A = this chain, B = another copy of it.
Amino acid sequence: MRFTDLLAAANPFAAITTVDAHCDLFCGVYYPEQARIEAESVKNCSVKYHDSDDDVFRARCISIKEERAELVKHHLNVLWTDYFKPPHVAEYPQLHDLFWRATKAAGDAKKTMDVQAGDDLLALIDEISVIFWATKGGKPAWLTS
């Protein structure tokens, strides 16, 4: 059984679209960058919070961070359950635990204004990103150029 057949078997989209040797043709649009960008906002909310002594500004930092961390969780969940397929998990056995810790890190970042929580979250998303782009064979030119 070829790798693409394995993916097709695991992916309901495969039944309704043309399948060939390139994952991109039926996987849709997934970018760990979406989670990463929101995680930068999460971190920045904590940085700016400590740079300010304005009560209104600080209250906004707390609530905007909450919202952005929720978006991180959403983007991570999409990657984990929509993009990744059983063959990926077979190749990267740490995948489930990595996503679990990253999503928990997003939740933890809601609960504190400690900048370290944002850095921890970014580091975990970067680990996911390395795996993701390895499975895709590299980033597209529009992103890197």
Contacts and interface: CB of A to CB of B under 8 A. Distances in A.
**Which of under 10, 10 to 19, 20 to 34, or 35 or more describes the interface residues of A?**
35 or more
A119 interface: no
Given A33-B37, A37-B33, A62 B52 contact: no
A31 B41 contact: no
B59 A63 contact: yes
The complex is assembled from copies of this chain, and their number is 6
Contacts of A13: 111
Contacts of A126: 142
Given A29-B40, A37-B29, A81 B59 contact: no
A136 interface: no
Given A17-B52, A63-B63, A57 B111 contact: yes
A60 B62 contact: yes
19 contacts: A12-B107, A16-B51, A16-B111, A29-B44, A33-B33, A34-B37, A56-B62, A56-B111, A56-B112, A60-B62, A60-B110, A63-B66, A73-B77, A73-B81, A74-B74, A80-B100, A82-B107, A96-B100, A126-B142
